[in-house]
Amino acid sequence: MESSSKYIPLKELDIYILSRQLSAKAWTIYQRLDYHLRKNWGDQMISSIDSVGANIAEGYARFHFLDRIRFYYIARASLSESVEHWISVGQERKIVLEEEYQEINCIAKNLQIKLNRQIKTTYDAKDKVSSK
């Protein structure tokens, strides 16, 4: 009997790929900061953006559906903190260039949509197993 679902390795998962793209963009910004900016803005910005991918990875590795979903929600909250706060503040303060701001927001929007879909799909899979 063939399984209807195929395991996708983490590194091939769309939401993880997008989170890594965000991290790469943020790292480019972080690397050009002086010591003062790194300590006051950059460390928190890079930590929150890297948290998105870390929580996706941890959630994806969890066995129980509700554990997975909890980490996806945390990833979604970190995405909001990262982009809607830190990147936005960076753009206002001229730390983040306009082009970088637009690219990051484009990736983030796509990621948020796909992360919401991943949460729904995981809930659906849980419900399907529960109804058997």
| pTM of the model as a whole | 0.90
pLDDT 10s digits, 114-124: 999 999 999 98
Query: What pLDDT band is residue 5 in, cutting at 50, 70 and 90?
Result: low
Task: Give the pLDDT confidence of 31-82 residue by residue, as tens digits.
Answer: 999 999 999 999 999 999 999 999 999 999 998 999 999 999 999 999 999 9
1 pLDDT above the threshold of 60: no
Domains of the chain listed by start with CATH number: 11-130 (1.20.1440.60)
Cβ-Cβ contacts under 8 Å for 110 (sequence gap 6 or more):
18
Residues 6+ apart with CB under 8 A from 85: 48
| pLDDT recorded at residue 127 | 83
Please report the pLDDT score of residue 7 as a whole number.
83
Question: Tens digits of per-residue pLDDT, 77-115?
Answer: 999 999 999 999 999 999 999 999 999 999 999 999 999
Residue whose C-alpha is closest to residue 129's, from 41, 66, 45, 46:
66
> Which candidate, 88, 79, 86, places its Cα nearest to that of 110?
79
- Looking at per-residue confidence, does 2 or 43 come out higher? 43
Print burial letters for 46-64: b (CB count within 10 Å at least 16), e (below 16): bebbbbbbbbbbbbbeeee
The pair of structure tokens assigned to 17 is 């790929």
Q: Which amino acid is at 104?
A: I
* pLDDT of amino acid 129: 82
